[in-house]
Structure 1
C-alpha cells in the first residue's frame, strides 16, 4: 500500500501531465519539465507566441485543504518570482516577455477529473 507521500507525489505527477496536455492544446510549446535549482522547482517552462511562460501546476483531490488555485499563497508567489529570476539568469532568452502562469487541476475525492483551469500571469514579478 502506498504511503500518503507516495500518493501525493503520484497525484502531483498526474496533475502535471494533465496540465502539460492542456497547455499543448492551448498552443503552448513545452521547453522543459521540472527545472530544479537550489531553491525549488519550476514545473513547466513553455513558450506562448513571443512570451516565455513559467508554469506552476497545483493539483488537489477534494477541497478539504482548499482548492488548487487557493494553494498559491503569497509566500509561494514570492518563491515563484525568485525561481523565475534564477531561471532567466541561467537561461538567457531572446523572447521579449516572460510571465508566470498557474494551472489548477482539481480531482473529486473518488479520483474523477473535475477541472483544469489556466490562470495567465497569475503572479506579478519584479520586471523580469
Structure 2
C-alpha cells in the first residue's frame, strides 16, 4: 500500500470519526490556490475546526501529530485565514486539530485519536 492510499484510507476514517462525534463536515481537501490545503474543515458546536489528518503504520519516527511540523502548521493557519475571509467568518471561534490514524500493514484501522486544539 503506497502513502497516497494510506492517506486516503486515513482521511475516510477521520471523517467517520468526526461525524460520529456530532461534528458537521463543511469541506474536505480545501485548497486555496497554491497556498496549501486543509484536509477537513468541520464545525463543532459554535467552533470552526481546521483538521489535519495524519495516518501512520507505527510510531517509529514519532507520533502522527509530531509530523505536523511548524511549516505545515503555518500553511494550515494561512489557508484557514483565507477560508474565513472568503466566507465572511469573523466572529466564530477557531480551532486547529489533528486526527491521528494508526493502521496495520494491510490498511485496517487500529486506532483513531482526535487531538483538539493541537496547535
Q: Same fold (TM over 0.5)?
A: yes
Rg (Cα) greater in structure: 1
Q: Tell me, which stretches of 5 or more residues in structure 2 are unaligned?
A: none
Task: For residues 52-102 of structure 1, give each alpha carbon's deviation from its aligned partner in whole angstroms, at most 9, with x where no partner exists.
Answer: 111111111233433212111222212211121111121223662111111
Partner of 2:96: 100
- TM-score, length of structure 1 as denominator length: 0.82
Aligned-partner SS, 2:10: helix
> Which of 110, 114, 118 is the aligned partner of 2:110?
114
Q: 1:122 is paired with a residue of what secondary structure?
A: coil
RMSD, aligned α-carbons: 1.7
Moved more, 112-121 or 57-66: 57-66
Q: May I ask how many residue pairs the two structures share in their alignment?
A: 118
Structure with more contact order per residue of length (Cα contacts < 8 Å, sep ≥ 6):
2
**Which residue of the partner structure matches residue 57 of structure 2?**
61
Gaps of 5+ in 1: 124-128
**1:11 equivalent in alignment to 2:6:** yes
